[in-house]
Amino acid sequence: MNCPIGIFGDTGVGKSRICNRFVSNCYEEDYMPTIFCSYIKPIVHQKNFYSLEINESASDEGFVTDYTDVIEKSLGFLCIFDLTQETSLHKISEFRYRILNQKNLTKVPMIIVGNKSDLTSERKVLSETGQMLADKCCVPYIEVSAKFGTNISKCFEMLLDEIHPKNNLIPVKRKGCLGCIQWLVT
């Protein structure tokens, strides 16, 4: 199943590092702002095959078109903030509002992700605060470190768990292709 997902979050929170860690298991310190980046990652999760299309849009408000396109096509969203930057947590609500507003829905498959958990002495956002926001939004919460790879696969798998039932994906046998299944969005 082709599964487009959107990566949102304030500038510098680690969106690209999380994607690179997940897709290629690599990590670079140098910071290069993203305008738009798309990654493809095949993954087997809960015995289902997914071709994840991971779209990272610019965190700069100026690139409105990218936002709109990514929101339009995505089945689920990772909303990322930086555990060492409190302002980046406040931005999550803005991204969520924008996504719900464009999709004209009250809920979408989404995970709130606190990144840079390795920077323990610089932490500004308590786990409880991140969890409280996630509870308010009725979405799961997880803390990760792109630098050390902590919980990186897990946050994508959690999103697939959210996407799977909420889009009512039903496995159906494809005609003329024994053993092959496809997913229908109802």
Ligand X SMILES: Nc1nc2c(ncn2[C@@H]2O[C@H](COP(=O)(O)OP(=O)(O)OP(=O)(O)O)[C@@H](O)[C@H]2O)c(=O)[nH]1
- What span, in angstroms and rounded, lies between the C-alpha atoms of 157 and 90? 25
Using CB under 6 A as the binding rule, whether residue 33 contacts ligand X is answered as yes
101: which 2 tokens?
């507003």
Using CB under 5 A as the binding rule, whether residue 34 contacts Mg ion is answered as yes
Beta-bridge mates of residue 81: 114
Q: Which of 9, 76, 114, 140 touches ligand X (CB under 6 A)?
A: 9
Using CB under 6 A as the binding rule, whether residue 57 contacts ligand X is answered as no
Residue 138: strand, helix, or coil: coil
Chain residues 74-133 in contact with ligand X, contact rule CB under 6 A: 115-116, 118-119
Q: Which of 6, 14, 114, 140 touches ligand X (CB under 6 A)?
A: 14
157 binding partner (options ligand X, Mg ion, none; Cβ < 5 to 8 Å by kind): none
Least distance from Mg ion to the Cβ atom of residue 34, Å: 3
Alpha-helical runs (H) found in the chain: 15-24, 64-73, 86-103, 127-137, 152-166
Q: Would you say 183 and 168 are in contact if contact means Cβ atoms under 8 Å apart?
A: no
Using CB under 6 A as the binding rule, whether residue 34 contacts ligand X is answered as yes
Residue 74 or 183: the one with the smaller Cβ distance to ligand X is: 74
**Helices H / strands E in the chain, number of each:** 5, 8
Residue 133 or 152: the one with the smaller Cβ distance to ligand X is: 152
* Residue 175 dihedral angles phi and psi, to the nearest 5°: -65, 135
- What span, in angstroms and rounded, lies between the C-alpha atoms of 63 and 10? 13
Q: Which of 6, 15, 113, 114 touches Mg ion (CB under 5 A)?
A: 15
Interface residues toward Mg ion, by CB under 5 A: 15-16, 34
Q: Which residues bind ligand X (CB under 6 A)?
A: 9, 11-17, 29, 31, 33-34, 59, 115-116, 118-119, 145-147
